Amino acid sequence: MIAEMAFAVIDTYQGRGLGSTLLATLYLVAQARGIETLRAVVLIAIGTAAEWLRRLGGSGKVSSGGVVELDLPHSP
């Protein structure tokens, strides 16, 4: 099962670990509910977010409209 995730961290709070905390919480809730993969749709212009998800094991493809879809599976 795949669930699409989304969240935003305003500029004032970027670089303080809030995004990591939000993602970790989503990841744990998804795991508890049997969701195997979290999907993020990220604007290509926000390369930092896409790179961050790739470093965490996300993979995906560029889609139409200037976005990339990244899937972050649970580790076995």
25 burial level (CB within 10 Å; 0-12, 13-18, 19+) = exposed
pLDDT of residue 34: 92
pLDDT of residue 75: 63
Does pTM top 0.85 for this prediction?
Answer: no
- Structural domain count of the chain: 1
Q: Between residues 76 and 57, which one has the greater pLDDT? A: 57
Domain interval for residue 59: 2-8+15-73
Please tell me whether residue 72 adopts helix, strand or coil conformation: strand
Note the pLDDT tens digit of each residue in 2-51: 999 888 888 899 889 898 898 889 888 998 999 999 999 888 877 778 88
CATH value at residue 31: 3.40.630.30
Q: Give mean pLDDT, residues 41-69.
A: 84
From residue 74, give the alpha-carbon distance in Å to each of 6, 31, 37, 47: 17, 8, 6, 23
46, 54 Cβ separation under 8 angstroms: no
